[in-house]
Amino acid sequence: MRICIAQLDYHIGHFEQNTQKMLDAIQVAKDQKADLVCFSELATCGYPPRDFLEFNDFIRRSDDSIARLATAADTIGVVVGAPAVNPVVEGKDLYNAAYFLYEGKIQQVFRKALLPTYDVFDEYRYFEPGNAFLSFDFKGIRLAITICEDLWNLGNENPLYTICPMDELMPAKPEVMINISASPFAWDHAEERIHVLKANVERYHLPLFYVNHCGAQTELLFDGGSLIFSPNGLVHDEFPYFMEAIRTYDLNDVIQGGSQREQPKEKNRLIHDALVMGIGDYFRKLGFKKAILGLSGGIDSALSTVLAVRALGAENVRVLLMPSPFSSQHSVEDARALAENLGIQYDIIPIGNIYQSYLDVLQPYFGDLPFNVTEENLQARNRGMLLMAFSNKFGHILLNTTNKSEMAVGYGTLYGDLCGGLSVIGDVYKTEVFDLCRWINAEDEIIPWNTIRKPPSAELRPNQKDSDSLPEYDVLDPILYQYIEKRQGPQEIIAQGYDNATVLRILRLVNINEFKRHQTAPVLRVSAKAFGMGRRMPIVAKYLS
């Protein structure tokens, strides 16, 4: 038997495009003499469709896609993910299903048993868990089909679930495992994914064909990385990350095994490529072309600009340099140098006069009150106003350049530097921003080294440095990581050796600034716990505040 894996980038709700992609892939599979082609989880409608699943018309369109794919599944078998209507009254209206199509019709429907409802997943909101575990014969080979999470409760060891689907399937003596998946990217997830899938192969001594989504769905990024395992636990092949690919394998070759074939998994490369894909897909799927950013001469806007150029092309990125009375000359020079290195359009619009006009208007009301964060925020909001004016006038989408450290502790101005349609590096800690910039500059100075080396500063008052308001980032970021990613409380973090007062101060800042994060742009997710849909915190809570 020859099995084809089609790793594709779907667009939520774009049934015509998704279906045509799969029809084209079916033809490629036929050309490659495949007997069976496998598409990923909820491929007809894209993942995650969320509350679109509550629309009957949405489900009808998905059913229409299945009908068109079945017509193409004449001489080739097709496995494809789609929602399936629950035929009984009890339970949820839908199943998360895998359809097996052959000889022009639906031959069998397999229902996902384990429905993740944590972090970014909310499947039990929409789907009824499957409770029938069926394998089937195709061309003399017995196949066991599972859907994503169904392989993540190996031996019933996951406390979230009470059943192990593959254990239930094994009495039928399947010869091949197929898993269709929609597994979102996090920079350390590829290793975990291989570990879990390898454990399944070693437990059941069966070859495994695993197909994953690639592409971005707003903040959720999918890296692909589809996998073929030989029964001996070796990776027969691993698909490229962040791109579509269609490959066909002879089952006998996979069973015989061979050398380990894995993609490299270097953190900076993964995060860089994920963010470039995330920006590009956001613009392409929404029908946008051009981006605008504020380029300050600081490291965050520099990194965001480089990523935008690599995603959209230099001709589609424009930046504004908006020095205030407190901006240093070297910051303007660094920003200009980066823009020229990248070959992008830049405009220098000093905001001194605008800022002063606001001060003049407010002076009768502020009187002799001392300069404070009010005047600092005015500068950030002046810049936000200019960027949004360009966005409106020229149809550019404003990209937000705030990093995860700043977003965590509220070190940003609502309606100022927190403006934007998409948060590019809002899931990248400041220390990781430095690492990424050094990695980008490894072979050539793209980002001026002065931007990377100088102490971080918002430059909103004389001689300002971030460290005036925050702990140094090499102290701040590990504490934030323990609190946000690891969900450790203050006592657990303090027990690791961190200063008591510093920990309590940082955690308080995170909690009291939840209201800001609720008003900011979607954050491209590259970690296991990003701000946004996967971290749902109340605004008015008192915990640690």
Catalytically active residues, by annotation: 41, 112, 148
CB-based contact 454:421 (threshold 8 Å): no
Residue with tokens 């993964």, as numbered in its chain: 270
DSSP state of 332: H
Reply yes or no: is the peptide bond before residue 471 cis, omega within 30 of 0: no
Which residues have C-beta within 8 Å of that of residue 83, sequence separation ≥ 6?
Answer: 42, 44, 45, 49, 53, 59, 62, 94, 95, 96, 97, 126, 127
CB-based contact 294:424 (threshold 8 Å): no
Reduced 3-state DSSP string for 507-525: HHHHHHCHHHHCCCCCECC
Residue with tokens 């920079």, as numbered in its chain: 187
Q: Where are the beta strands (DSSP E) in 69-206?
A: 77-85, 94-102, 105-111, 135-138, 141-147, 176-180
Q: Is 62 helix (H, G, I), strand (E, B) or coil?
A: helix
Residue with tokens 């667009």, as numbered in its chain: 11
First to last CA, the chain: 61
d(CA 238, CA 307): 26
**How is residue 284 written in tokens?**
């392409």
Greatest pairwise CA separation for the chain in angstroms = 87
- Residue positions counted in the chain: 545
Which stretches within 228-266 are classed as H helix? 251-256
Q: Is 94 helix (H, G, I), strand (E, B) or coil?
A: strand
**CA gyration radius, the chain:** 26
Q: Is 465 helix (H, G, I), strand (E, B) or coil?
A: coil
CB-based contact 314:342 (threshold 8 Å): yes
CB-based contact 539:518 (threshold 8 Å): yes
Q: At what angle do helices 329-342 and 299-312 cross, to 10 degrees?
A: 10
Give whole-number Cα distances, 244 to 8, 84, 278, 364, in Å. Answer: 5, 26, 14, 61
Distance of CA 522 to the CA centre of its chain: 10
d(CA 44, CA 23): 11
Q: Is 350 helix (H, G, I), strand (E, B) or coil?
A: coil
